Amino acid sequence: MKTGLLPVLNLLISIIAVSLCFIPMAIFWLKRLAPDKSFFLIAIFWLINGVTYTPEIFRWNWYKAMSNEITLVYNLIDTPLILMIFYFAFKKKIFKYMLIGFIIFEILMIVWKGYNFDSNTPIIGLGSLISLILNIWGISIYFQKMRHTSFENVLAFVNAGYIFYYGLFTVIYIFNYIIFSRATLPYVTFINYLSITIATGLISYGYWRYARSPWKEANTH
């Protein structure tokens, strides 16, 4: 891959990735999935990503001054959203306790290191690891069963999407938070948008192909 081609590829894939971030919410409303809280939170997760990245790819002037602040806030809500999704999807109290525990961890890190990237780095690192492990667990549960409901089929695509997202984020985390270098930034940017594209593509397909409103799901059994 030529270095001169990379900025063009980054622009193209960023537009595709950000556009796809809005698809889960669009399908959520089109298919009238509103009663399902887990589907709603998944759609909200990607909607927030889309809203966050839109001013970045179009380089709006006001965003430059606020980009660090937006990143700090986003990193604080990332993992709690994932834990809430798992709580509503699997109806297990352990996810509620994990959510409370993680929020306490965030507060302690901010009190200790301040509201900055020094506290944000371990928060997003641990949070991303938890999110990756949970989604691997979720998809492993799916493959242990022979027959699945429509809801479980959607979750399988959701889990697969998040596995790609948080799996590739490992590379992003290393080069953005641990050994940051401007020389690798374009490549990290490409990997970031690629992970979003794959994740939202899988999740959008799962929503479109399998998602049903709760009352329709109940009428099929």
Note the pLDDT of residue 1. 45
pLDDT digits (tens, 9 = 90+) for 20-76: 999 999 999 999 887 789 999 999 999 999 999 998 887 777 777 788 888 899 999
**Mean pLDDT, all residues of the chain:** 91
Q: pLDDT higher for 105 or 185? A: 105
> Tokens 């009663």 label which residue?
35
Note the pLDDT of residue 128. 96
Under 8 Å between Cβ of 187 and 2: no
Q: How confident is the model at residue 185 (pLDDT cuts 50, 70, 90)?
A: confident
Q: How confident is the model at residue 215 (pLDDT cuts 50, 70, 90)?
A: low
DSSP state of 3: G
What domains appear along the chain, each with residue ranges and CATH number? 3-213 (1.20.1070)
Distance CA(142)–CA(155), nearest Å, equals: 8
pLDDT digits (tens, 9 = 90+) for 134-184: 999 999 999 998 889 999 999 999 999 999 999 999 999 998 888 878 788
Distance CA(213)–CA(128), nearest Å, equals: 30
For the beta carbon of residue 129, count every other beta carbon within 10 angstroms. 15
